[in-house]
Structure 1
C-alpha cells in the first residue's frame, strides 16, 4: 500500500496530476471574483466562504479523471487487479493520494486566499477545519466517479456530471459551517454532518469503486 501511495504521488507531481493545476485554478477564481461582483468589501466578506468552497470543489474536479486513467492506459490497473492488495484498497489509496496532492494544498492555501475576499478574521479557522474535514470526501467521491468512467474516451465531462451532484451536501455543510462560525450561532452541527458524510464515503465507496473497476476490466 505504501509503495502504491508513493507511486501515485510521484505520478501526480511528474505528470501534472493536479498539484499545481488545482492551486492555479483556485487562485485565478478567487482573484477574479472581486472583478465580477465589485470592490464592495462587505459583499465580498459575505460571499467569501461560499466562493472559497466552490472554488476548492471545482479545483478538485480538474484531476479526477487521472486517478485511474493512466493506470488503465498502460495496463497497470489490470496488474493491480491481480495483486495481493484488493481493489478496495487500491481505490482507497488512490483517493488518499488525490487528497494529498489536491485537497490538502487547497485546504492550506484557502485561508491565505481569503484575504483577497476580505474574509472576516473569525472565519479563517472554521474554513480551515471545514476544508480539512470535507475535502477527503471530495477525493473519495471523485475516485468512485473516476472508476465509473475509466476507459471512456473524453470521460471528463461525464465524470463531472456524475460527481458534482454528489458534492453538493459537502459544499452546503462546509460553507454553512463557516457562516455559522462567523455569526456565532454554532458550527458544530454542520461540521459533524460533514464528518459523517466523509466517514460514510470512506466506509462505502471503496467497495463501490472496486466493483465498478472489476466490471470495466472484464
Structure 2
C-alpha cells in the first residue's frame, strides 16, 4: 500500500468512529455532563468565596478532566474487539501503529477537544480569575491528547477482559500525576503573574513523547489481546 492508501484507510477509520459516536451520543455526552455537574456542584459544597474557589479551580477542573477521561474508556476498543474489527485492524496491510494513532485522534476529537472548548465556562463557574483562563485552555489543549493516548494504552491492555474498568483506572491514575502537577502549576503561575512557559513546554514535550510512543504500545497491546 502507498501513502495515499494509508491516508484513505485512516480517514475511513476515523469517519467510522465518528458515525458510531453519533449513533450513541450518550457515550460522548456523558463525560461532558459529568464535568458540568461536578463543576456546578463544587461551589455549593465549598461555598461561594471567590478567593477559595479561584485558588482551587485549576486543580478541580483538571481532576474532573482526568476522571471524565476514564468514563467509558474501556469501550475505546471493546466494540471493535467484540465485532471482529480489531482482528481486521491487526490483519490490515497498514501499520497497526498508524491505525492506533487514528483511534487516539478520534478519541481526542470526541472527548478532549470539547473539554478544551468548555473550559472557559468551567473557569467562570469556579470563579477562576480571567488571567488564568488562557493558560488553563493551553494546558488542556496540550494535556488532553496525553489523556487520550494513555487511555488508549490502558483500553488496549484490558480489552479482552470482561470488566476492565476498575483495572484500567488503577493502571492509568498513577501515570496522570505528573500531568496534573505541571498543568495546575502552570495556571497557578499565571495567576501569580509569573511566566508559565516552563510548565507549558514540559506539557508540550510530554505530549510529543506520548503521541510518539503510545501508538507503539497500543499496537503491541492489541496484538497480545487479539492472539
Asked if these proteins are the same fold (TM beyond 0.5), I'd say yes
Larger displacement relative to structure 2 (81-90 or 150-159): 81-90
Matched, 1:132 2:147: no
- 2:68 matches 1:59: yes
Question: What's the offset of the Cα at 1:17?
Answer: 6.4
Could you list the runs of 5+ residues in structure 2 that have no partner in the other structure?
1-9
TM-score computed with the length of structure 1 as normaliser: 0.97
Q: Per-residue deviation at 1:184?
A: 1.5
Distance 2:62 2:221 in 1: 29
**3-state DSSP class of the match of 1:123?**
helix
CA deviation map 1:98-132 (0-9, x unaligned): 10000000011011121111110101111111100
Aligned residues: 218
Q: Which residue of 2 aligns with 1:159?
A: 168
Root-mean-square deviation (CA, aligned residues, Å) is 1.1
Cα distance in 1 between the residues matched to 2:158 and 2:214:
15
Q: Pick from 118, 121, 135: which aligns with 2:130?
A: 121
CA–CA separation in structure 1 for the residues paired with 2:121 and 2:71: 21
2:34 alignment partner in structure 1: 25
SS class of match (1:18): helix
State the Cα distance separating 1:151 from its structure 2 match: 1.3
> Shift of residue 217 of structure 1?
1.0
Counterpart position of 1:99: 108
Structure 1 segments unaligned to the other structure (5+ residues) = none
Aligned to 1:182: 191
Q: Runs of 4 or more off by more than 3 Å in structure 1?
A: none
Quick check: 1:137–1:201 contact (8 Å CA) kept in 2? yes
| Correspondence for 2:53 among 17, 20, 44 | 44
Rounded to whole Å, the distance in 2 between the matches of 1:98 and 1:45 is 30
